[in-house]
Amino acid sequence: MSKVGIIGVGQSKFVRAYPGSVRELVFEGFKEAMEDAKVTTKDIDATIVCSAPEYDKQRSPSGVFAEYLGLNPQPTFYVESLCSSSTTGLRLAYSLVKSGLHDMVMVLGFQKMSEISAAESQERMGRGTDIQWEAPFGTMMPAYYAMFAKGHMAQYGTTPEDLALVRIKASTYGILNDRAMNRKVLDMDAFKAPAPLAGILSTPLRVGDCCNNADGSSCVIVANEEKAKAFSKKPVWIKGLGSATAAVNMAGRETFYSLPAAAEAARQAYGMAGMKPGDINVAEVHDCFTIAEILAYEALGFAKPGEGPALIRAKETYKEGRIPVNVDGGLLSKGHPVGATGGSQVRTIVLQLRGEAGDIQVKDPAIGLVHNVGGVGLYANVTILGRE
Amino acid sequence: MAKKEMDNRFSKFGTVSFTAVTRVNDFIGYLEQGKLMGTKCKKCGLKFFPPRADCYKSLDSDMEWFEVSGTGKLLSFSTLTFAPTGFTQDLPYTIAVLDYGDYKVFGRVDSSIPDSELSVGMAMKAVVHPLPNDRMNYVFQKG
């Protein structure tokens, strides 16, 4: 069985308002990945562009980027699964390479969210859920995840302090990540009124429980085994891929204390890799909200159902802990440029597995995992990467 | 020849509706009669709330309406203090899901009930609620 490897990763800084156009924003992630992989545009056989289109003013951005990045006449196309778009792109890149159709495929993720107001962006994000039956009630992402926080609290006794611990951990690493938007160390006082992060957004979630919208781009270059070995001294191999969905309408969900699509995607990825949760040395999970990281611990099997809060209380997901999670600061510190986020998570794990993660380097990891969720657990992708 | 009028009753649903035309527009007709209705597949008996025009199981579109009645169990809820564009005048408001057993219902909690009086597991009932400007939705009250 031939392997599929990642030979180049890049991302822009994630910022509140990028002072340039989307093609210029995408160039930043692209440049870093191209220099990392030491390839030329002629080596790239196809490009998959990933974003959530509700923020784009440019229709069909793939063609614009192909021209701007010197990728004509190779094929390019667009894919979206909300916040998990760029790991959906990675899944497609894997299949294009694995099938033998292409030798090397680029996955470009981007989002420029700063051109619309926060309230407008919440309205558009809300329209990533059920617009016919739910949006007329005035829904938005923080309110949906708040329902899962409330559900987890009612089922397992999780507390607002447990949620704050997730943000405090994120801030510990955000300060070490020069690509992150939030680079201030926080403690429990940040969650005490009248501190700005303590303000309630949607009960029980506070401002500090939520990640920020951001502008950013990411780029991942995937190659077949022969090319990966030829171009890279340290290719990182795709060992397992899982992808699943759940009901878009909350009336279709069985519980409000877990995200079943993430658990199913994890089951598939572990199965394909022939691994179990205990084999993972470092993980990036989709902490769009603090509760989402706790749900991820449980979906991925790092903790049993209901025991996610115990994991963060014991600092087991810190860099020195049993299973380091989001040691790049996560979405909570980096910001969340929807279509670029999955690629940024992949970049962090690739750098970790190559031993090139600098201040946030976990001790000698061999296997890493990326958990990237779109919508309110509507889409979930779990990817397992390895050095061997 | 007179132009055939489009049945766009669904544009009256909720504070802001993002859908005007649907094959379950009679949902709005029932709301106007004070009834909250779902659909049931005549072939296989599967019940749908929110109502659907089509059954994915039977691959059939012959549906009948049933009324959402009795009480459901509050599965979760959240009270918003920040709203998306178009909903700011409604703040604060609470969204919630009730479990009726065969189906679940997503909606708003009656604005007279404060967040502090809600708890997961309590019994609530869905009732039709008229909104300003001839608009309609439904809200949950204590069961």
3-state helix, strand, coil in chain A (%, to 5): 40, 20, 40
Contacts of B110 (CB under 8 A, 6+ apart): B127, B129, B139, B140, B141
- Ranges of residues in chain B with a pLDDT under 70 are 1-3
Range of the domain at B26: 9-67
Residue A100 above 80 pLDDT?
A: yes
Mutate to test the interface with A, among B79, B106, B136 (most CBs of A within 10 A): B106
Which of B19, B115, B119 is opposite residue A132, by nearest beta carbon?
B19
B51 and B88 part of one domain: no
Instruction: List b or e across A149-158, with b for residues whose CB sees 16 or more CB atoms inside 10 angstroms.
Output: bbbbbbbbeb
- Whether residue B3 lies inside any domain: the answer is no
Q: Looking at residue B2, what is its pLDDT?
A: 56
Give me the mean pLDDT over the A303-330 stretch.
98
Residue labelled with tokens 């007279």: B112
**CB spacing of A154 vs B121 below 8 angstroms:** yes
**What average pLDDT does chain A have?**
96
Express each pLDDT in A30-71 by its tens digit: 999 999 999 999 999 999 999 988 787 788 999 999 999 999
- Each domain of chain A, given as residue ranges in start order, spans 4-116+217-231
User: Are B59 and B83 in a shared domain?
Assistant: no
B97 interaction partners in chain A (CB closer than 8 Å): 147, 250-251, 253, 256
Q: Which of B67, B91, B112 is the last residue of a domain?
A: B67
The minimal CB distance from A137 to the residues B85, B107, B115 is found for B107
| Residue A336 falls in the annotated catalytic set | yes
Nearest residue of A to residue B106, measured between CA atoms: A251
Query: Both B138 and B80 in a single domain?
Result: yes
Judge if B86 and B62 occupy the same domain. no
ipTM: 0.95
* Predicted confidence (pLDDT) at residue A17 exceeds the cutoff of 70: yes
CATH architecture of structural domain A4-116+217-231: 3-Layer(aba) Sandwich (3.40)
Give the pLDDT mean for A276-292: 98
**Amino acid (1-letter code) at residue B90:** D
- DSSP assignment string, A33-102: HHHHHT--GGG--EEEEE--GGG-SSSSHHHHHHHHTT-TTS-EEEE-BTBTHHHHHHHHHHHHHHTTS-
Q: Which residues of A181-190 are buried (b: 16+ CB within 10 A; e: fewer)?
A: bbbeebeeeb
pLDDT per position as a tens digit, B22-47: 999 999 999 999 999 999 999 999 99
The pLDDT confidence band at residue A93, using thresholds 50, 70 and 90, is very high
Q: What is the pLDDT of residue A59?
A: 86
Verify whether the Cβ–Cβ distance A132 to B22 is below 8 Å.
yes
Whether A123 sits inside 8 A of B97 (CB atoms) is no
Contact B13 A136 (CB under 8 A): yes
- Do B86 and B134 share a domain, yes or no? yes
pLDDT of residue A300 exceeding 70, the answer is: yes
Distance between CA A99 and CA A112 in Å, rounded? 33
- Mark out chain B residues that contact chain A at CB-CB < 8 A: 10, 13-19, 22, 49-50, 75-88, 90, 93, 95-97, 103-108, 115, 119-121, 137
Whether residue B2 is contained in a domain is answered as no
Q: Which strands form B63-67's sheet, in the order they lie side by side?
A: B47-48, B37-41, B63-67
Residue A121 has a pLDDT of: 77
CA distance B87 to B99: 26
Interface of A with B (CB under 8 A): 117, 119-120, 122-123, 126-127, 130-140, 142-144, 146-151, 154-155, 199-205, 249-253, 255-256
Is residue B100 situated within a structural domain? Answer: yes
User: What is the model's pLDDT at position B3?
Assistant: 64
Same domain flag for B81 and B131:
yes
- What average pLDDT does range A150-172 have in this prediction? 98
Considering the domain architecture, whether residues B14 and B27 belong to the same structural domain is answered as yes
Q: Is the pLDDT of residue A130 over 80?
A: yes
User: What percentage of chain A carries pLDDT values higher than 90?
Assistant: 93
Per the domain annotation, does B1 fall within a domain? no
Strand pairing category for A4-11 and A236-245: antiparallel
Residues of chain A in contact with residue B137, where contact means CB-CB under 8 angstroms, are 136-137
Active site residue A219: no
**What are the pLDDT digits (tens) for A333-366?**
999 999 999 999 999 999 999 999 999 999 999 9
With CA atoms as reference, the chain B residue closest to A206 would be: B81
Specify whether B109 is located in the same domain as B80.
Answer: yes
Residue B118 and residue B96 in one domain: yes
**B102 Cβ contact partners less than 8 Å away, ≥ 6 residues apart:** B47
Domains identified in chain B, total number: 2
Q: Are A42 and A259 in contact (CB under 8 A)?
A: no
Cα–Cα dist A339/A100, whole Å: 26
Q: What pLDDT does residue A57 have?
A: 78
Please indicate, yes or no, whether residues B86 and B29 belong to a single structural domain of this protein: no
pLDDT band at A232 (very low <50, low <70, confident <90, very high): very high
A82 closest CA partner among A157, A144, A6: A144
Compare CB distances from A123 to B77, B85, B119 and report the shortest one's residue: B85
**Residue range A249-263, pLDDT digits in tens:** 999 999 999 999 999
Query: Could you give the CA distance from residue B141 to residue B74 in angstroms, rounded to a whole number?
Result: 11
Residue B39 lies in a domain: yes
Is A260 strand, coil or helix? Answer: helix
pLDDT for A39 equals 98
DSSP 8-state secondary structure symbol assigned to residue A135:
G
- Tell me, yes or no, whether B58 and B76 share the same domain: no
pLDDT reading at A117 higher than 90: no
Q: Which residues from B are below 8 Å from A139, CB to CB?
A: 84, 95
Query: Quick one: pLDDT at residue B49?
Result: 97
* A112 neighbors A337 (Cβ within 8 angstroms): yes
How many CB atoms are closer than 10 A to CB B23?
13
Q: Do B88 and B133 reside in the same domain of the chain?
A: yes
- Quick check: A77 and A62 in contact, CB under 8 A? yes
Q: Is residue B28 part of a domain?
A: yes
**CB-based contact A147 B105, cutoff 8 Å:** no
The amino acid at residue B84 is P
